[in-house]
Chain A
Amino acid sequence: MAPTQWPGSSRLRRVRRLWPWFALVGALLLVRVSKGAGFADAYALLTRPFWPGPAQRDWIESAADLEDRAKLKLLNEDNRRLRGLLGLQQAGEDQGRVAAAVISRTPRGWWQQLELGKGALHGISAGDSVLGPGGLLGRVQSVTPATSRVKLLTAPGSEIGVWLRGSRRHGLLVGLGTSRLQLRFIEKDPKVRPGDLVSTSPASTLLPANVPVGVIQSVNERAVPAPYAVVQLIASPESIDWVQVIIN
């Protein structure tokens, strides 16, 4: 093979052959300098569905604390305002409660339900209310001797009447499949604000009275035909292992 006539051109060829490697080293240097920003972001994006949530104990403790405070407020107010309706209040206190383990849960998807480890043998029947730490979760839809199936408030088609303590108005809490619920009002001006507590009605006969349900997150006053609010449940079905069933 004849020696190259132009030493400069052979150096150029060598550089050309090596440039992908230089580019790779340059890219890796960029990764190093940026502390792996691209990789970390890609990893975060890919693993986002698997990120752990807050510890269940923290959730339950904070939810139970909120429930206690909300209940205290509601009961104090009730005592003052509804002293005359002692019979109704007494009925609420007399109701029995059964603690049941959650043996299966489907908080998302087509059917949003819980399966409880106690059923008709323990006195549970269809229509009973189910409470988690924080407030109302749903109602028992069907029972077998040893299990009960609970339709969550978030399930499509779930509708309950609720009471807004702040504005002293009623509303209809509707489940639409999403994790947040829609609170529909009859009045054009519902006079509610984000942060207001939503609870069951003090005079409710189908549901236990004065049980906290959720907190208003936002209000859409321009909605047609009537304004609505977005409600976040206090009790989280995703993280509950035990519930209380209020036996009617």
Chain B
Amino acid sequence: MTLATPAWFGIDGVGPAWAVLWLLPWALVDGPVSGAIGGLALGLVLDGLTVGGASQVPALLLLGWWWGRLGRRAPPIQRSFNLGLLAWIGSVSVGCSLIVQLLIDRGFVLDPWMRSWGWHTVWSQALITALLAPMLVSLQLLLWRRRSPS
């Protein structure tokens, strides 16, 4: 999906964080360990598909673990608003982790152009991800719950 997303599918050219949309239902159903492993796997694949510079692995790993804990401890999370909110938080977290890596890479001095591009990308991606989450994550939740009845 990351490669096949057309340029028009997104907000101002910025597409959704697909990894967040796949990881969220998996982690909610399968728990923290599976979630963290899923985040790690997705992050590694995505890092392999991009030109590099910053990695999505740390953020996805932590998100997978956190969402897994939420899925185990709280009553089943399945309302559209909750799924959208979790996806929004996930997308913002991934974006912020990338900005932090850019900052570290550039000695904690970010060009104003790059700073405004970074925040623009974070908010655009978070919005489109949150809007898609209720539809895509609900469907996947159904699928994963059917496969793991426990």
Contact of A113 among B14, B50, B105, B113 (CB under 8 A): B50
Q: Which residues of A contact B12 (CB under 8 A)?
A: 49, 108
Taken residue by residue from 108 to 140, chain B's Cβ proximity to chain A (1 for < 8 Å, 0 otherwise) reads as 000101101110010001000000000000000
Chain B positions within 8 Å of A178 at CB level: 113, 116-117
Residue of A nearest to B47 (CB): A111
**Nearest CB of chain B from residue A181's CB, rounded to whole Å:** 9
Residues of chain B with a CB closer than 8 A to A176's CB: 111, 113-114, 117
Q: Tell me the smallest distance from the CB of B53 to a CB of chain A, in Å.
A: 5
**Any chain B CB within 8 A of the CB of A151?**
yes
> Which residues of B are found within 8 Å of A128, using beta-carbon distances?
none
A238 and B7 contact, CB distance less than 8 A: yes
Assembly CA distance A49 to B131 (angstroms): 15
**B98 on the A face (CB < 8 A):** yes
Chain B residue with Cβ nearest A175: B114
Q: Is B54 an interface residue (CB 8 A)?
A: yes
Answer whether residue A105 sits at the interface, using C-beta atoms and an 8 A cutoff. Answer: yes
**B78 shortest CB reach to chain A, Å:** 29
Say whether B51 contacts A108, CB under 8 Å.
no
Contact digits for A96-124, partner B, Cβ 8 Å, 1 yes 0 no: 00000001111111111101000000000
Residues B14 and A109 in contact, CB atoms below 8 Å apart: yes
Q: Are B8 and A115 in contact (CB under 8 A)?
A: no
Once the chains bind, are B51 and A151 in contact (CB under 8 Å)?
A: yes
A157 close to B (CB within 8 Å): yes
A107 touches B7 (CB 8 A): yes
Tell me whether A113 and B51 are in contact (CB under 8 A). yes
B74 close to chain A: CB less than 8 A? no
Q: Are A105 and B7 in contact (CB under 8 A)?
A: yes
Instruction: Establish whether residues A111 and B51, one from each chain, have CB atoms under 8 Å apart when the complex forms.
Output: yes
CA distance A177 to B99 in the complex (A): 12
User: Do A109 and B15 touch across chains, with their CB atoms under 8 A apart?
Assistant: yes
B4 touches A177 (CB 8 A): no
A170 near B: Cβ within 8 Å? no
Please give me the residue from chain A that is nearest to B48 by CB atom: A142
User: Is A244 in contact with chain B by the CB < 8 A criterion?
Assistant: no
A113 to B117, CA, bound (A): 16
- Which residue, of A103, A107, A157, has the highest number of chain B Cβ atoms within 10 A? A157
Task: Tell me the complex Cα distance, A239–B118, Å.
Answer: 23
Chain A 3-34 per-residue mask, 1 if CB under 8 angstroms from chain B, else 0: 00000000000000000000000000000000
**A155 interface residue per 8 A CB criterion:** yes
Interface residues of A (CB under 8 A from B): 49-50, 103-113, 115, 141-142, 149, 151, 155-157, 176-178, 182, 238
Give chain B's interface residues, CB within 8 Å of chain A. Answer: 3-5, 7-8, 10-15, 50-54, 95, 98, 102, 105, 111, 113-114, 116-118, 121, 125
Could you jot down 26 A-B contacts, CB within 8 Å? A104-B4, A108-B10, A108-B13, A108-B121, A109-B10, A109-B14, A111-B50, A111-B52, A111-B53, A112-B51, A141-B52, A142-B51, A149-B51, A151-B51, A155-B51, A157-B53, A157-B105, A176-B111, A176-B114, A177-B114, A177-B118, A177-B121, A178-B116, A178-B117, A182-B111, A182-B113
Q: Given contacts A110-B50, A142-B51, A156-B114, could you give 7 more A-B pairs where the C-beta distance is less than 8 Å?
A: A50-B8, A103-B3, A109-B14, A110-B54, A112-B51, A176-B113, A182-B111
